């Protein structure tokens, strides 16, 4: 139940985080690009095939702009140039669309009329409900505010509402007319073709105020000689986004224009154009930086509230979890004690003060006292524990140290009275005393020890029996030859007869063979001493290889040593010689004709590694399990004793090492020897 509640909370937190990220992203896109997140995804998709086809079919687009609205757009008759902020916007759009846009300057009211009659294709304006009946609108291109300019001496003008019944000059078709109508403010309008004409009426005293676009009014106001006599009212009449309008018949242009506007804004081209015309004096644009700051502060506040809430809920959840876990731990402690008592091993928990703090039922039964009687007693009262303490201290080479304070894990065998015990000691953090505690696990291994000794003795007897049988078998034939040859010598008077010569040769061969068998038996039976020496491994291998130089030459076998010349090891030299002699001899015997035998040697921090690789015929599966057995051989009768690999095997294990073999991918067999390095 608790797990499901935790997962549910995590899911809620995750979903809330996703919602907050989406909200922040959406608001950021609205501030930076004046679009929402869904529009953003659509605008990033590029032009569709239908949109590309539409642009290909469109040779030119005509933009109808205001002829006298600096700095947004102004036409100079003397040089026939039409320049301004919006004109630059149109030029940038033309490049982005890849379609020519021709700017055509007009009086503002005529520009609206031309667009409504499809005589032009584009015009920038503030969208309204009235205008939407004729035009379709793109996403915002730039921001624009409408302001009021009036004489400074007018002390009665306090709010925009004071325009009601005032005589106000305004450009024909200006958005301000619709905005004042919406607010039910009804000035007495004097309509003009442009803002400059309206301002001239103000300066001549024919009207009380002028309303219009802020950048245009500022532009003309700054050119006025007596501009200190006039003021631009601080409260804006409106602050809206300007868009590109197209006739409703050409609304297929809108998604194309939206994508182009987004790309220009993303590339920073629109900002560059604004900087060109206004620099740092872009007071009529919305302050995006301020909006971003407000958004960041809002999101930061939400994060703080969310974090505080999550921390509170987390702490509350942790408290409930701690209470639950405490209850579970209490139950688990009882269950562990039951398990502790149910184990067959003797278990005792001893504190640093050598006092018994816990024990199981098996130890209680062993000493013959109840658990309550044994707890809080000193280990000196129990001879078995005293013997364990003494052995433990001896292993740590510090007989004077505290039993528990050594804080070291240990495993050892202990003979106590007529019994054998396996003892394991594990340091633990104590709940009963300030220091450490020690868990002692005692197992009675007397019976298993007896069985191991019995099995070892049996194996030795079997090995001796097989050895004796082998010796008798191998020596019987040579001795027979000796006897027969001796008989011939004794019956022949002339020693230089062919028979005598043959007999002598047979005797010599038999004696030689018997000598070889005896040598192998001696090698097998000889116990390697425990003496270790520092050995130059390469020299040792060379010495053994020289022993086989003649036999290898006769079989056209190359003996290759791969070992560092200065590699030093600390090991039993005689044992290593026995191992290498028998492995190399086996490798040479395994090769019927010419080839290579590689003898490799290396080491790491822990072990010495030897490899002997031949190019013989390899080992058959049926004999792989027997090759290390004494007297097992695949050679014809009389050509091998079957003791070579067994001697190597025995010497490796005397050195606590291991020997394995594997098939060589290129043919033959590879014997691997790993021997721990003695320090």
Equal fold, 40-286 vs 344-444: no
**Is the model more confident about 451 or about 382?**
382
Of all residues in the chain, the percent with pLDDT exceeding 90 is: 28
Domain segments of the chain as ranges = 40-286, 344-444, 455-525, 533-676
pLDDT (mean) for 237-265: 92
pLDDT value at position 401?
A: 59
> What's the CATH number of domain 344-444, 1.10.3720.10, 3.20.20.70, 3.30.2010.10, 3.30.450.20?
3.30.450.20
- Cβ neighbour number for residue 15 with a 10 Å cutoff: 10
pLDDT (mean) for 348-361: 88
Q: Which helix (H) or strand (E) holds 372?
A: helix 371-374
Comparing C-alpha atoms, which of 542, 609, 598 is closest to residue 569? Answer: 609
> What's the CATH number of domain 455-525, 1.10.3470, 1.10.287, 1.10.150, 1.20.120?
1.10.287
CATH for 40-286 is 3.40.190.10
For domain 533-676, which architecture applies? 2-Layer Sandwich (3.30)
On average, the pLDDT of the chain sits at: 82
Residue 608: pLDDT over 80: yes
Give 392-437 pLDDT, tens digit per residue.
887 766 655 566 655 678 888 888 876 889 999 888 876 655 567 8
pLDDT (mean) for 297-326: 84
The answer to whether 150 and 93 are in contact (CB under 8 A) is no
pLDDT value at position 621?
A: 79
Secondary structure E strands in 417-553 = 419-429, 436-444, 533-536
Q: Which helix (H) or strand (E) holds 316?
A: helix 288-342
CA distance between the termini of the chain: 58
pLDDT value at position 527?
A: 43
Residue 17: pLDDT band by 50, 70, 90 thresholds?
confident
pLDDT (mean) for 300-315: 84
Q: What pTM was estimated for this model as a whole? A: 0.44
pLDDT value at position 484?
A: 64
pLDDT (mean) for 631-641: 67
Residue 268: pLDDT over 70: yes
What is the rounded distance in angstroms from the CA atom of residue 300 to the CA atom of residue 312? 18
- Cβ neighbour number for residue 458 with a 10 Å cutoff: 10
pLDDT value at position 465?
A: 45
What is the rounded distance in angstroms from the CA atom of residue 495 to the CA atom of residue 474? 29
pLDDT value at position 283?
A: 47
Q: Which helix (H) or strand (E) holds 664?
A: none
pLDDT value at position 105?
A: 92
Comparing C-alpha atoms, which of 470, 670, 471, 473 is closest to residue 586? Answer: 670
Give 89-130 pLDDT, tens digit per residue.
999 999 999 899 999 999 988 999 999 999 999 999 999 999
pLDDT value at position 124?
A: 93
Comparing C-alpha atoms, which of 240, 256, 479 is closest to residue 264? Answer: 256
**Is the model more confident about 407 or about 250?**
250
pLDDT value at position 186?
A: 94
pLDDT value at position 80?
A: 85
What is the rounded distance in angstroms from the CA atom of residue 138 to the CA atom of residue 153? 42
245 Cβ contact partners less than 8 Å away, ≥ 6 residues apart: 115, 122, 123, 124, 125, 127, 131, 135, 136, 137, 138
């Amino acid at each position: 139940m608790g797990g499901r509640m935790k997962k549910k909370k995590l899911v809620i937190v995750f979903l809330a985080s996703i919602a907050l990220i989406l909200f922040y992203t959406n608001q950021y896109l609205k501030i930076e690009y004046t679009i929402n997140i869904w529009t953003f995804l659509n605008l990033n998709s590029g032009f569709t095939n239908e949109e590309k086809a539409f642009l290909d079919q469109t040779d030119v687009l005509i933009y109808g702009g205001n002829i006298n609205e600096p700095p947004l757009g102004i036409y100079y008759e003397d040089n026939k140039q039409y320049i301004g902020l919006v004109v630059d916007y149109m030029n940038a759009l033309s490049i982005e669309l890849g379609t020519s846009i021709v700017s055509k300057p007009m009086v503002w009211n005529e520009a609206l009329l031309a667009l409504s009659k499809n005589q032009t294709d584009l015009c920038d304006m503030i969208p309204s409900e009235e205008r939407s009946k004729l035009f379709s609108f793109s996403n915002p291109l730039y921001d624009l505010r409408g302001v009021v300019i009036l004489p400074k001496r007018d002390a009665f003008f306090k709010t925009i509402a004071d325009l009601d019944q005032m005589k106000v000059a305004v450009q024909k078709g200006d958005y301000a007319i619709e905005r004042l109508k919406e607010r039910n403010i009804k000035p007495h309008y004097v309509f003009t073709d442009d803002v400059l004409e309206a301002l001239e009426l103000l300066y001549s005293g024919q009207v009380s105020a002028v309303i219009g676009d802020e950048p245009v009014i500022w532009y003309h106001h700054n050119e006025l000689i007596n501009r200190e006599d006039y003021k631009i009212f601080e409260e804006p009449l409106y602050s809206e986004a300007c868009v590109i309008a197209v006739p409703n018949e050409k609304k297929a242009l809108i998604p194309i224009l939206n994508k182009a506007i987004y790309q220009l804004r993303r590339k920073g081209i629109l900002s560059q154009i604004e900087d060109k015309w206004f620099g740092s004096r872009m007071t009529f644009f919305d302050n995006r930086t301020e909006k971003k700051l407000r958004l960041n502060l809002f999101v930061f506040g939400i994060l703080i509230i969310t974090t505080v809430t999550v921390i509170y809920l987390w702490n509350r959840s942790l408290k409930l979890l701690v209470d639950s876990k405490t209850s579970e731990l209490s139950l688990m402690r009882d269950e562990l004690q039951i398990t502790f008592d149910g184990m067959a091993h003797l278990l005792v928990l001893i504190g640093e003060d050598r006092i018994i703090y816990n024990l199981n039922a098996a130890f209680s039964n062993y000493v013959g006292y109840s658990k309550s009687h044994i707890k809080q007693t000193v280990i000196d009262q129990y001879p078995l524990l005293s013997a364990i303490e003494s052995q433990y201290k001896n292993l740590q080479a510090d007989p004077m140290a505290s039993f528990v304070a050594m804080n070291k894990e240990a495993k050892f065998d202990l003979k106590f009275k007529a019994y054998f015990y396996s003892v394991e000691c594990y340091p633990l953090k104590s709940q009963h005393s300030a220091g450490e505690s020690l868990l002692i696990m005692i197992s009675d291994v007397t019976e298993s020890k007896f069985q191991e000794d019995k099995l070892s003795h049996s194996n030795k007897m079997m090995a001796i029996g097989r050895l004796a049988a082998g010796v008798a078998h191998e020596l019987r034939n040579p001795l027979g030859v000796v006897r027969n040859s001796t008989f011939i010598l004794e019956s022949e008077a002339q020693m230089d007869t062919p028979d005598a010569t043959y007999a002598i040769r047979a005797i010599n061969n038999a004696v030689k063979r018997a000598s070889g068998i005896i040598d192998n038996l001696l090698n097998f039976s000889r116990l390697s001493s425990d003496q270790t020496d520092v050995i130059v491994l390469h020299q040792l291998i060379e010495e053994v290889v020289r022993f086989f130089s003649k036999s290898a030459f006769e079989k056209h076998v190359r003996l290759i040593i791969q070992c560092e010349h200065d590699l030093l090891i600390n090991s039993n030299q005689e044992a290593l010689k026995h191992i290498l002699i028998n492995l190399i001899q086996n490798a040479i015997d395994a090769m019927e004709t010419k080839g290579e035998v590689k003898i490799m040697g290396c080491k790491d921090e822990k072990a010495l590694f030897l490899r002997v690789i031949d190019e013989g015929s390899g080992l058959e599966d049926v004999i792989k399990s027997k090759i290390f057995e004494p007297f097992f051989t695949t050679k014809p009768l009389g050509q091998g004793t079957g003791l070579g690999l067994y001697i190597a095997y025995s010497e490796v294990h005397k050195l606590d090492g291991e020997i394995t073999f594997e098939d060589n991918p290129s043919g033959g067999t590879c014997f691997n020897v790993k021997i721990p390095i003695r320090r």
